[in-house]
Amino acid sequence: MLSFLCAALMNPPTGNDQQQHAEWFEEQLEADLKWSFALNGVLHAATSEFQDIVLLDTKRFGKALVIDGKLQSAERDEFIYHECLVHPALLLHDNPKTIFIMGGGEGSTARESLKHKDVEKVIMCDIDRMVVDFCREHLTENQEAFRDDKLHIVFNDAKDELEKTEEKFDVIVGDLPDPIEGGPCNDLYTKPFYEQVIKPHLKDNGIFVTQAGLAGILSHKDIFTSIYNTIKHVFKYVIAYTAHVPSYADSCGWVLASDEPLKLDVEQLNSRIQERIRGDLLYLDGASIVSSTVVNKMICTSLLKETQVLTGENVRFVYGHGLTKNA
Ligand code: TER
């Protein structure tokens, strides 16, 4: 259990380094690449029915949620990831009132959704009660969101939960760990799922958005391009966008989709931010939303050339392994 954490703590980096006496967490990014965080401590470490979960207190990035050895988000820069995940979709929608979040157990995606004054109901459906309990206790930023009457928390697999309801939503958000061998949510990145489960649960002008893994020069072909291409086979209008997330040591990608045209207009986005959002956004405004959809030539070419459609038979994974045996 939690061997990646123990190994990292027992083998801290050595050398002429001010942090040499600190405990460290090492995230294995690739077979030949690690990214290390000096720690103030480990707040919680446990193995749930579904995954290894660790909540760290890191020196540089504050509290950090790690699932199956992979950093999910860190207190100091999670606003970048969560603003980018939530606000473009809600701002491009004419009047989003009902939001369904797949995953999102740490509460940050719910927190950003609830900043929209006209949102009436947010369902956060996470398979893992342990993630929600850890985060509800430790992430002070999200405590108000966890107490909000508009937030309904469900513990279930998002696919099962959507399949059993007839309710349709204005926006469905995928705030999931990346697909990983043996991980619990690989099916939630496939064409059959988008086509047979997501689409029927969106209202006519509904918008789907998902995090889509790393989108850097050396990482964008891991899963980003294939998630984009898969979604393009299901929805008429699809937008990929990226932002740099310092704690990931890379850029992150998101894909947003609808069967209604999506109007990327700086002025309209800015006036909707003014009218609809309670409080300030730290990272996004109209111009940065639009500019995040302009990717460099190399990534643009890869997105356009990608041919793989994820079906469940031919998934792509990030480096690492989850708990499910033989998966
Ligand atoms: N709300 C928590 C985030 C859930 N998923 C985030 C997936 C991030 N993928 C990229 C991680 C890179 C870490 N090396």
All structural domains of the chain: 3-74 (2.30.140.10), 78-305 (3.40.50.150)
pLDDT of 7 strictly over 50: no
Least confident of 11-15, 29-33, 34-38, 256-260: 11-15
Return the higher-pLDDT residue of 169 and 134. Answer: 169
Ligand 1 centre to CA of 75 (Å) is 13
Ligand 1 centre to CA of 177 (Å) is 6
Q: What is the pLDDT of residue 17?
A: 52
Whether 229 contacts 307, CB under 8 Å: yes
Whether 86 contacts 59, CB under 8 Å: no
pLDDT of 28 strictly over 90: yes
Measured CA to CA in angstroms, residue 306 lies from 17, 100, 309 at distances of 43, 29, 9
Whether 235 contacts 315, CB under 8 Å: no
Least confident of 8-12, 160-164, 270-274: 8-12
pTM value surpassing 0.90: yes
Q: Which residue has the tokens 């090492």?
A: 26
Q: Given the residues 175, 178, 222, 250, select the one marked as catalytic.
A: 175
What is the position in ligand 1's atom list of the atom closest to the CA of 29? 14
Measured by CA distance, the residue closest to atom 14 of ligand 1 is 248
pLDDT > 70: percent of the chain:
92
In three-state secondary structure terms, 227 is helix
Residue 225, classified by CB atoms within 10 Å of its CB into exposed (0-12), middle (13-18) or buried (19+), is buried
Q: What is the pLDDT of residue 325?
A: 46
> pLDDT category, 74, cuts 50, 70, 90?
very high
Q: Which of 62-71, 177-186, 310-319 has the highest mean pLDDT?
A: 62-71
Q: What is the pLDDT of residue 6?
A: 46
Q: Which residues contact 300 (CB under 8 A, 6 or more apart)?
A: none
In the beta sheet, which residues pair with residue 325?
none
Whether 286 contacts 312, CB under 8 Å: no
Measured by CA distance, the residue closest to atom 10 of ligand 1 is 213
Q: Let me know if 175 is a catalytic residue.
A: yes
Residue 52 CB–ligand 1 contact under 6 Å: no
Mean pLDDT of 133-142: 91
pLDDT of 252 strictly over 90: yes
d(CA 228, CA 214): 12
Measured by CA distance, the residue closest to atom 3 of ligand 1 is 72
Q: What is the pLDDT of residue 191?
A: 97
pLDDT of 60 strictly over 90: yes
Report the chain's mean pLDDT, rounded to a whole number.
92
Largest CA distance in the chain: 60
Mean pLDDT of 304-321: 89
